[in-house]
Amino acid sequence: MEIFAKTVALVGALALLFVASLIGGTFLWLIWPVAIPAAFPGLVASGVLAAKLSWWVAVCLTWLFGLLIKSSTTVQKKEE
């Protein structure tokens, strides 16, 4: 029974991460063409930052940044 509970918890956590990435990625995809060229016009003009993102790239960036933020807070808690 304990293995079943751990499996359900893991699947639930992955599903929550997936849904949060879809929502966050969609939001990032919608605001990127407006916010990034306005905030960093030189970087967009020189090609360092993309002027537009595909929806899937925005979802992946949201997932990646979420993992990076989570791991950095874990490291900070261990140091304290």
What one-character DSSP code corresponds to residue 20?
H
Tens of each residue's pLDDT in the chain, 80 residues: 688 888 998 888 888 888 888 999 999 999 999 999 999 999 999 999 999 999 999 999 988 888 788 766 655 555 55
> Which pLDDT score, from 0 to 100, does residue 53 have?
94
pLDDT value, residue 78: 58
Q: Return d(Cα 1, Cα 25) in angstroms, integer.
A: 36
| Total number of domains constituting the chain | 1
Q: Which domain holds residue 71?
A: 2-79
Q: What length is written for the chain?
A: 80
The one-letter amino acid code at 66 reads G
Judge if pTM exceeds 0.75.
Answer: no
